[in-house]
Structure 1
Amino acid sequence: MQAQSQSQGQSKAPGADVPVLSLQNIHKAFGGIIALERVDLDIHAGEVVALVGDNGAGKSTLVKIIAGVQPATQGRILIDGAEVAMTDPSDSQALGIQVVYQDLALADAQPVYMNMFLGKELVTGPLRRLDRKRMITETESLVKELDVRIPSARATIRDLSGGQRQGIAIARATHWATKLVLMDEPTAALGVAETAKVEKIIAGLKARNLPILIVSHSLDQVFRLSDRICVLRRGRQIGVRDTRSTDKNEIVSMITGLST
């Protein structure tokens, strides 16, 4: 029954051939503790896949494996059909993968444009001075494109609302991501209005054909945003479902163990 559950919903998205990301038989152990066991998942261009499960299900571990923070104990990761090695975050970033963490990882004392280019600052001239004008221009263009409403690219991060900060974190990720964006509880600390704004940004990324893997505890959000839902329980992949072909009752049953 479990094998059938794992394969359901794994069909290729319309018009997509090779998945942008393919996880094959991913296994992760910390000593004698098995954190993940036999996870298989494909993500195609323009697709939003939700990763759900209770605390300790292995969601964050899987995100960290894709991001290169924690290498898998065994299994294969393929990008556009080619196997890749993820030994540290620089590997995933070089492949065009970016992560939006719940804590945002923003520099509160710095302006928006410096956060957008944090660690990748643009320079100009023989003295390699910061090209602030170009960074400001590119930041303003991107936040306008994503409809992230902020006072100015020069505004200091600590002066922005939670929703605006999350919008900046997502904008930064999408600025550098060419293959995939990973989002770990991107709206967990936001109110209703700010959550709606961030979800609108996510929908805009999908329209740009950028694939997204999103971790969320909110099934309402999962059903609003995702094309498919991958359920983990105690480190095992219980199944993958097409969002339009399932309902909350089935997903809750899979999460809790009332259905396998």
Structure 2
Amino acid sequence: MTAPLIETIDIGKSYGGVVALRDVSTVVRAGEVTCVLGDNGAGKSTLIKILAGVHRHDRGDLRVEGERVRFDSPRAALDRGIATVYQDLAVVPLMSVWRNFVLGFEPTTGPFRLLDRKAGREIARKALTDMGIEIEDMEQPVGTLSGGQRQCVAIARAVHRGAKVLILDEPTAALGVKQAGVVLKYVVQARERGLGVVLITHNPHHAYPVGDRFLLLERGAVLGAYEKSEIDLSELTRQMAGGAELDALRHELARVIGS
């Protein structure tokens, strides 16, 4: 069987005396979506920063396509095909859609390697169209797009740049139902193109329709890890809401009230 694009084995990370992540194991495979769920402080951000090369893990193994790695920078992760789209999207609001799309990878022309604006617009237009994203005016400032459209542009940009793994940090957190649905549609498109997707979210209703496996974190540790065939939406939601602890509380309240 082909090695996973990413595999973590008992990954851990501490900041001084604070343990932010401990013994977290999961896999990210080509053509699948791994959803990482948890409330604030669960360890989601720490995990993705390790995968993205922002922080180095203290314990355990991180493997990329079967090879043990320890990234020392985001560039090192990007060079291995791991692209991360954070909540702030790393876009320049006043810059045009196409200029944001090619930012850092600008096409040039002539002996003085001047920016080729025509080529840049065409690169952006074709890549967005290939993903089914229709933006009529490539010159409009990206900040004038809706939150869902900006997320879609960022996803298409990562796919266009040859990412093998796409990490999405709470892409639907600030979106309404319709816009969230649009973003999730492009998550599915990225999966269908063969990328491995890591979807970070606190919303099981956004994760379940697109996810192939689910990693639940709580206070830096694994609360549960499931393939889609092993858990349904109601149980995923129940565990996110407290699971066994919530059941125990209900039973205790019933006992106290009934006594």
Instruction: Report if TM-score (shorter chain) is over 0.5.
Output: yes
The answer (yes or no) to whether the contact 1:150–1:160 under 8 Å persists in 2 is no
- Counterpart among 32, 40, 46 of residue 47 in structure 1: 32
TM-score calculated relative to the size of structure 2:
0.89
- Whole-Å Cα distance in 2 between the matches of residues 46 and 53 of structure 1? 23
Shift of 1:55: 1.1
Please say if 1:214 is aligned against 2:194: no
Deviations, residues 9-41 of structure 1 (Å, cap 9, x unaligned): xxxxxxx52101111221100000000001111
Task: Give the 3-state SS of the residue equivalent to 1:258 in structure 2.
Answer: helix
Residue matched to 2:174: 189
Residue matched to 2:7: 22
Q: How does 1:167-206 map to 2 (within 5 A)?
A: 167-206=152-191
Deviations, residues 161-199 of structure 1 (Å, cap 9, x unaligned): 222111111111222243200001101111121111111
Task: Give the 3-state SS of the residue equivalent to 2:168 in structure 1.
Answer: strand
- Whole-Å Cα distance in 2 between the matches of residues 158 and 41 of structure 1? 35
Task: Give the 3-state SS of the residue equivalent to 1:239 in structure 2.
Answer: strand
RMSD: 1.5
Shift of 1:249: 4.1
Residue matched to 2:84: 99
Q: How does 1:30-179 map to 2 (within 5 A)?
A: 30-179=15-164
- Whole-Å Cα distance in 1 between the matches of residues 237 and 151 of structure 2? 28
- Whole-Å Cα distance in 1 between the matches of residues 161 and 62 of structure 2? 20
- Counterpart among 207, 214, 217 of residue 232 in structure 1: 217
Shift of 1:43: 1.1
- Whole-Å Cα distance in 2 between the matches of residues 253 and 180 of structure 1? 29
- Whole-Å Cα distance in 1 between the matches of residues 178 and 201 of structure 2? 17
Q: Which moved more, 1:169-178 or 1:216-225?
A: 169-178
Shift of 1:252: 4.0
Q: Which moved more, 1:138-147 or 1:153-162?
A: 153-162
The answer (yes or no) to whether the contact 1:38–1:237 under 8 Å persists in 2 is yes
- Whole-Å Cα distance in 1 between the matches of residues 31 and 205 of structure 2? 20
- Whole-Å Cα distance in 1 between the matches of residues 236 and 20 of structure 2? 21
Gaps of 5+ in 2: 246-259
Q: Percent identity?
A: 37
Shift of 1:156: 1.4
The answer (yes or no) to whether the contact 2:102–2:120 under 8 Å persists in 1 is yes
Shift of 1:245: 2.3
Shift of 1:85: 2.3
Task: Give the 3-state SS of the residue equivalent to 2:208 in structure 1.
Answer: helix
Shift of 1:201: 0.9
Shift of 1:114: 1.1
Task: Give the 3-state SS of the residue equivalent to 1:164 in structure 2.
Answer: helix
Residue matched to 1:246: 231
For the structure 1 residues 33 and 177, does the alpha-carbon distance in structure 2 shift closer, same or farther, using more than 3 Å as the test? farther
Q: How does 1:1-20 map to 2 (within 5 A)?
A: 17-20=2-5
- Whole-Å Cα distance in 1 between the matches of residues 117 and 20 of structure 2? 44
Deviations, residues 144-175 of structure 1 (Å, cap 9, x unaligned): 01111212222211222222111111111222
Counterpart residue type for residue 169 of structure 2: D
- Whole-Å Cα distance in 1 between the matches of residues 40 and 234 of structure 2? 19
Q: Which has the larger radius of gyration?
A: 2
- Whole-Å Cα distance in 2 between the matches of residues 204 and 253 of structure 1? 28
The answer (yes or no) to whether the contact 1:50–1:230 under 8 Å persists in 2 is yes
Gaps of 5+ in 1: 1-15
The answer (yes or no) to whether the contact 1:21–1:44 under 8 Å persists in 2 is yes
TM-score calculated relative to the size of structure 1:
0.89
Q: Which moved more, 1:246-255 or 1:92-101?
A: 246-255
